[in-house]
A and B are shown apart, each in its own frame.
Chain A
Amino acid sequence: MLSAPADRPQAAATERYTGGSAVRVPILTVSDLSVAYASRRGDVCAVENVSFELAAGEFLGIVGESGCGKSTLLFAVAQLLVPPARITGGSVAFKGTDLIALSERDLAPLRWKEISVVMQSAMNALNPVKTIGAQFADAMRAHGVTARQEIADRSAEVLAMVGIDREHLRSYPHQLSGGMRQRSMIAMALLFTPDLVIMDEPTSALDVVAQRSLMVQIKELQQQLGFAIIFVTHDMSLVSHFSDRLMVMYAGQVAELGATRVVFDAPQHPYSAGLLDAFPSIRGPKVALTGIPGSPPDLAHPPDGCRFAPRCPQVQDQCRQRPVELYNVDDVQVRCLLRGNGVVQGD
């Protein structure tokens, strides 16, 4: 029912190439990516110098609150930005090719076959006047598959992967429940078993039980098919059990980036620590929490020093004086002067 990794030449090639799993070749390398929005008062930098690598089959969670730039970053990686947003610097290398340099025509063979996107709200992304099956067929035909039998077979196959009966190929989106719609979006993203699936808050429109089952489903699919995931969410706890690495964004910059469990158990950046503390627990003793008072800075006029300084409980004078670099602390990248011991990321 599900394609085993052996059927996927790309995965095998990567492993062969590296001669084993000791060094995992990244399939996606984002370097110093910056995105700005043109506005009446000049450019507003929504994403500033974001760099990360994604290995094959890795699950990267990008976490942040509204205005932090995570969705913008996602669209920039997927080359889906439209004016007034534009990439102002950096590169997005997918399997060695810089996507930014490619024209739309050159990007087309990559889209959906190697990189696919799952949007936030299925009701917005699915065509309400076409059946699910028709939309799957649409996607397949757009990428060169025309044989009707093949389309039907593959559509039924991906639906089965997400636990939906094939008869729903004839259903319209509004006839499906919210969870089923989201699953069919994910199924559609997997039509060509891409190497990278980018997900923008795919569970935010669902209730908590459906959310959990969808996350489990996504993780299972990932383990079976071996694709890498970039998962953007505002809900840190949601990815805590599923992602391999976690990137916390604040005000357009990377605040912290490291292995999920490490970031959760010992957050280095005061913002990550504050975020984790802002989740009331349903188990264990009840504690009074304070959250993080204040608001993120206005990106049109970012502060001179650390962007989190106005809200930081551990702020010191030096924090306000100059912009903060990304430091490497025990395999975790942190943008905090208090953690930096002089080893700047990239040195």
Chain B
Amino acid sequence: MATMQIPAGAGQAPEAGLPGMPGSAGTASERAAGRIWRAVKSNKKALTGAIILLLFVIMAIIPGQIAHDPPQAFIYGRSLGPSAQHLLGTTPSGQDIFAQVIWGARETLIIALVSGLLSTLLSMIMGIGAAYLGGWWDNGLNLITDILLVIPTFPLLIVIISYYPHSSLIPLIAVLVITGYSYGARQLRAEALSLRNRDFLEAARVRGERRFYIIFVEIIPSMTSLIMAVFLGTAVYNVIAAATLQFIGFGDPNSLSWGTMLYWAENGEALQTGQYLWAIAPGLCIALLGAAFALLNYAFDEIGNPALQRVKLTRRRHSPPWRIRAERAR
């Protein structure tokens, strides 16, 4: 027997269902931000993720303050073990590993965030657009998304690599976006489809609004939680996938990111020669960054799906039992 009073779905503030409360100030986006902040703060997992992400962001913004050594200068002693001067030791070519890890955060984060954003955008267009426009648009856009969903990503990446060996960031991001958007698109489409029958969208249409207005102003703001969740999920995928691609040589090996560090570590036989830190440090950072996004996602799961909230909120006071009848009568 499920709990019968579950607060309404995505978009409802925690104080839902209490008429008579003074209006909360702020625009829709301010309220959304407040909701997000509260959700993150109250959820330990999300809070941990947020802290880790924050640390990495600081690393990316002010790497020079944290690591004083230039990361790519071949000036130090070779293959030194960890010491006071070189916290993680040096590479066989004389670079300071610690500096590389700190400076590498920047590119890795940029890849993750940019491809995450673009991927989410593409998911929104393909998913929400398909759901709302319906008909042939739905069929067509869906077909593309489903094909990309089903094609095994890794072999696809390898095939694409063979055309673009050793190139810059843009093809890398493009490849990540194209192969990674489809899962989010399906999620957004499902949610948009369920929203589509909500009366307020029909009301907007009867009011005379244009289609694109409805999509951008009425639908999307109601889906912010899910969109954030899609973004974070895609970010996890992108972090790992980008590192994988760089590890196998795709992308510019002379750039500095954790993935390229792994590439060089592999080339320099780090594990075989006992230089574990050279491989473990960037690897661990990649894993932590992915974990940070995944942990943050827990907060959005809760907003999007109130059933997961640990303390169920006060029931929605005017949840009339004859809703069910109305839904069926439609």
B313 contacts A by Cβ under 8 Å: yes
Question: Roughly how many angstroms separate A121 CA and B328 CA in the complex, as a whole number?
Answer: 10
- Output the nearest chain A residue to B314 by Cβ-Cβ distance: A39
One of A80-88, A146-154, A312-320 contacting the partner: A80-88
B325 touches A204 (CB 8 A): yes
A123 touches B315 (CB 8 A): no
What residues of B have a CB within 8 angstroms of the CB of A178 in the complex? 328
Return the contact of B319 from the options A40, A41, A66 (Cβ within 8 A).
A66
B311 touches A234 (CB 8 A): no
A37 contacts B by Cβ under 8 Å: yes
What residues of A have a CB within 8 angstroms of the CB of B3 in the complex? 82-85
Question: Roughly how many angstroms separate A124 CA and B14 CA in the complex, as a whole number?
Answer: 26
**Which residues B49-95 have CB closer than 8 A to chain A?**
none
Question: Roughly how many angstroms separate A71 CA and B321 CA in the complex, as a whole number?
Answer: 9
Q: Mark A84-122, 1 if CB is under 8 A from B, else 0.
A: 110000000000000000000000000000000000110
B20 touches A298 (CB 8 A): yes
* Nearest CB in chain B: distance from A173 CB, A: 13
Would you mind naming 19 contact pairs between A and B with Cβ atoms under 8 Å apart? A38-B311, A39-B311, A39-B312, A39-B314, A40-B313, A41-B314, A44-B314, A66-B317, A67-B315, A67-B317, A71-B4, A80-B1, A82-B1, A82-B2, A123-B324, A204-B324, A205-B322, A205-B324, A298-B18
A296 contacts B by Cβ under 8 Å: yes
What residues of B have a CB within 8 angstroms of the CB of A66 in the complex? 317-321
- Output the nearest chain B residue to A234 by Cβ-Cβ distance: B321
- Output the nearest chain A residue to B38 by Cβ-Cβ distance: A40
What residues of A have a CB within 8 angstroms of the CB of B325 in the complex? 204-206
Question: Roughly how many angstroms separate A37 CA and B315 CA in the complex, as a whole number?
Answer: 8
* Nearest CB in chain B: distance from A219 CB, A: 21
A295 touches B324 (CB 8 A): no
Return the contact of B321 from the options A37, A120, A295, A300 (Cβ within 8 A).
A120
Return the contact of A39 from the options B1, B313, B324 (Cβ within 8 A).
B313
Known: A39-B314, A82-B1, A124-B324. 9 other contacts (CB 8 A): A37-B312, A40-B14, A71-B321, A82-B2, A120-B321, A123-B324, A200-B321, A295-B19, A298-B19
Q: What residues make up the interface of A, taking CB atoms closer than 8 Å to B?
A: 37-41, 44, 46, 66-67, 71, 75, 80, 82-85, 120-121, 123-124, 178, 200-201, 204-206, 234, 295-296, 298-300
**Which residues B149-187 have CB closer than 8 A to chain A?**
none
A-B interface pairs (CB < 8 A), number: 73
What residues of A have a CB within 8 angstroms of the CB of B313 in the complex? 39-40
Q: A71-B4, A295-B19, A295-B20 are in contact. Are A121 and B314 (CB under 8 A)?
A: no
* Nearest CB in chain B: distance from A116 CB, A: 13
Question: Roughly how many angstroms separate A288 CA and B324 CA in the complex, as a whole number?
Answer: 30
Question: Roughly how many angstroms separate A82 CA and B4 CA in the complex, as a whole number?
Answer: 9
Question: Roughly how many angstroms separate A81 CA and B89 CA in the complex, as a whole number?
Answer: 60
What residues of B have a CB within 8 angstroms of the CB of A121 in the complex? 324
Q: Mark B277-313, 1 if CB is under 8 A from A, else 0.
A: 0000000000000000000000000000000000111
What residues of B have a CB within 8 angstroms of the CB of A38 in the complex? 311-312
Interface of chain B: mostly helix, strand, loop or mixed: loop
B18 touches A300 (CB 8 A): yes
* Nearest CB in chain B: distance from A308 CB, A: 16
Q: A38-B311, A39-B313, A40-B14 are in contact. Are A67 and B318 (CB under 8 A)?
A: yes
A75 touches B4 (CB 8 A): yes
Interface of chain A: mostly helix, strand, loop or mixed: loop
**Which residues B1-54 have CB closer than 8 A to chain A?**
1-5, 14, 18-20
What residues of B have a CB within 8 angstroms of the CB of A41 in the complex? 314
Return the contact of A234 from the options B2, B320, B324, B328 (Cβ within 8 A).
B320
* Nearest CB in chain A: distance from B55 CB, A: 30
What residues of A have a CB within 8 angstroms of the CB of B312 in the complex? 37-39, 83-84
* Nearest CB in chain B: distance from A229 CB, A: 17
- Output the nearest chain A residue to B326 by Cβ-Cβ distance: A205
What residues of B have a CB within 8 angstroms of the CB of A40 in the complex? 14, 311, 313-314
B19 touches A123 (CB 8 A): no
What residues of A have a CB within 8 angstroms of the CB of B318 in the complex? 66-67
What residues of A have a CB within 8 angstroms of the CB of B1 in the complex? 75, 80, 82
A296 touches B315 (CB 8 A): no
Question: Roughly how many angstroms separate A2 CA and B321 CA in the complex, as a whole number?
Answer: 32
What residues of A have a CB within 8 angstroms of the CB of B322 in the complex? 201, 204-205, 234
- Output the nearest chain B residue to A41 by Cβ-Cβ distance: B314
What residues of A have a CB within 8 angstroms of the CB of B2 in the complex? 82
- Output the nearest chain B residue to A82 by Cβ-Cβ distance: B3
Question: Roughly how many angstroms separate A299 CA and B313 CA in the complex, as a whole number?
Answer: 13
* Nearest CB in chain B: distance from A7 CB, A: 31
What residues of A have a CB within 8 angstroms of the CB of B321 in the complex? 66, 71, 120, 200-201, 204, 234
What residues of B have a CB within 8 angstroms of the CB of A75 in the complex? 1, 4
* Nearest CB in chain A: distance from B230 CB, A: 27
Question: Roughly how many angstroms separate A179 CA and B317 CA in the complex, as a whole number?
Answer: 28
Question: Roughly how many angstroms separate A215 CA and B35 CA in the complex, as a whole number?
Answer: 46
- Output the nearest chain B residue to A68 by Cβ-Cβ distance: B317
* Nearest CB in chain B: distance from A275 CB, A: 15
Question: Roughly how many angstroms separate A39 CA and B328 CA in the complex, as a whole number?
Answer: 31
A123 touches B328 (CB 8 A): yes
B324 touches A120 (CB 8 A): yes
B328 touches A46 (CB 8 A): no
What residues of B have a CB within 8 angstroms of the CB of A295 in the complex? 19-20
What residues of B have a CB within 8 angstroms of the CB of A298 in the complex? 18-20, 317
Question: Roughly how many angstroms separate A336 CA and B316 CA in the complex, as a whole number?
Answer: 27
* Nearest CB in chain B: distance from A105 CB, A: 17
What residues of B have a CB within 8 angstroms of the CB of A44 in the complex? 314-315
* Nearest CB in chain A: distance from B97 CB, A: 47
What residues of A have a CB within 8 angstroms of the CB of B314 in the complex? 37, 39-41, 44, 299-300
What residues of B have a CB within 8 angstroms of the CB of A300 in the complex? 18, 314
* Nearest CB in chain A: distance from B7 CB, A: 10
